[in-house]
Every structure is written in structure tokens, then in C-alpha cells.
Amino acid sequence: MATSRYVGIDVSKDRLDVAELRGRVWQVENTREGIAQLVEQMADMQPELIVVEATGGYQRAVVEAMFRAGLCVAVVNPSRVRQFARACGLLAKTDKLDAQVLAEFGERVQPKLYEGKSEAEKHLSALLVRRKQVEEMLKAEQNRLRTTSPSLRNSVEQVIVCLKEQKKLLDERSSSSSRSNQLGTNRQRSWAVSLVWVR
């Protein structure tokens, strides 16, 4: 089936807006069934590149599904795409237009292909994302403490203590996970070197 070589996918919590470069635009639900349907469509189309914007985790399932199906997919930073759209004069904000801009971005910028992560790498990424979320909540509560009435100060202070404990726990788990990943990488390198020596 001959079609555009570049596809953009704008991801939201509930749906995926899909656009072929200079072609049709359609939607599927951001569910297991919707993603499976889209992977099937992409497998038939065989685009050169599928470009997906990183959207706080909502893109993970579709990106992993495309990658596992052997399709070329790139996950791009939203700020880079906004800069690109501004430079091209494409500033109207609709999900359909966003998907078309992503396809255009793919053709012109040729972003780096997504490389699948191991389960350990996914776990570490999730820990780091959660740590950042907790840090943001902690900062917000510390700022709130400055303006909170004396009668509610104790409540905010308790939340701050809890968030600090969570941050410490996440730091420990992240460090442990990072060390485990590094050990695994070193083992793989040692194994590769030993294979070279055997040859």
C-alpha cells in the first residue's frame, strides 16, 4: 500500500491523532485495542519514520508496540517540535495539526530512532520520573508553608516530612538500580571482549 513515508502521532490520555505527511489524518483510541489497530495499519503502510511526541508517559505503550512490531519510531522532545513549528509558521494548536507537524518534523529533522530499553532501564527511568514528581510536590509544599495560616502549618509540615522520606527512598532505589544497570553493562562488555579473544 503506497503512502506517505512519514507519520506523526499526537498522543493524549484517551486518543491518538495520526497524520500522514501531506496526507490523511485520523484518530484511534489510546487503548490496547486502538494501539493494536494502529500498529496493524502502520505495518501495512511501512512508513520510513513514525514520530511521536513525549507526553508524560502516555506515549509509552504506542512507542513500545511500534518498536516491537519492527517499525521505525522516534520519540521527540515537545519543545523542539514547538520551536520547529514556530520557525515554519505552524502555530495553530489542534491535535490534528500537531500530528501533521510531527510528520513534517520527521521528514526535515530526521530525529534519532527509538532504541528499546531493558526492563531494568525502564524501571530506572520510572524511578527517576517519580523522583522528579516528588521533588516538585516538595517544592510546592515548602512554598505553601510560607503563606499558610498558623492553624494549618502542622498539616503542611507533615506532608513535607512525608515527601522528604519518599524522596530519600527514591534516591536509594535509583542509586541501587543504577548500580545494577552498570554491573549488567560491564558484564556485557566483558562477555563481548571475551568473545573477541576467543575468535
Q: State whether 20 and 89 are in the same domain.
A: yes
CB atoms within 10 A of CB 82: 16
Domain with 86, as residue range(s), is 6-109
Identify whether residues 42 and 64 lie together within a single domain. Answer: yes
pLDDT confidence bin for 115, thresholds 50/70/90: confident
Whole-number pLDDT of residue 72: 94
Q: How many beta carbons lie within 10 A of that of residue 60, not counting itself?
A: 17
Residues 51 and 141 in one domain: no
Query: Does residue 64 sit in the same domain as residue 138?
Result: no
Q: What pLDDT is stored for residue 192 in this prediction? A: 44
Are residues 80 and 144 part of one domain? no
190: pLDDT strictly greater than 90: no
On whether both 91 and 184 belong to a single domain, the answer is no
In order of 22, 41, 90, 118, 172, the CA distances from 178 in angstroms are 43, 37, 41, 13, 10
Please tell me whether residues 85 and 129 are part of one structural domain: no
Neighbour tally for 170: CB within 10 Å: 19
**Same domain, yes or no: 94 and 127:** no
Specify if 138 maps to a domain.
Answer: yes
> In the prediction, which pLDDT does 196 show?
43
Q: Which among 82, 109, 136 is the end of a domain?
A: 109
Residue 77 lies in a domain: yes
Residue 114 resides in a domain: no
Q: What is the pLDDT of residue 185?
A: 53
Mean pLDDT of 96-120: 87
Q: What is the CATH number of the domain that holds 75?
A: 3.30.420.10
Say yes or no: 85 and 173 in one domain.
no
Please count the structural domains in the chain: 2
Q: Are residues 166 and 97 in the same domain?
A: no
Q: Which residues contact 45 (CB under 8 A, 6 or more apart)?
A: 1, 3, 4, 7, 20
CB within 8 A of 144, min separation 6: which ones?
156
- Whether 95 is in a domain gets the answer yes
Which band of pLDDT confidence, cut at 50, 70 and 90, is reported for residue 89? confident
pLDDT over threshold 60, residue 135:
yes
Element (H, E) at 132: helix 119-147
DSSP code of residue 31: S
Establish if 189 belongs to a structural domain. yes
- Output 175-181 pairs: Cβ under 8 A, ≥24 positions apart: 177/120, 177/123, 177/124, 177/127, 178/124, 180/120, 181/118, 181/120, 181/121, 181/124
- Same domain? 87 vs 14: yes
Letter for the amino acid at 18?
Answer: V
* Structure confidence at residue 103 as a pLDDT band (50, 70, 90): very high
| 194 is a domain residue | yes
Please indicate, yes or no, whether residues 146 and 94 belong to a single structural domain of this protein: no
Q: How many CB atoms lie within 10 A of CB 168?
A: 11
Which residue's C-alpha cell is 517519580?
Answer: 130
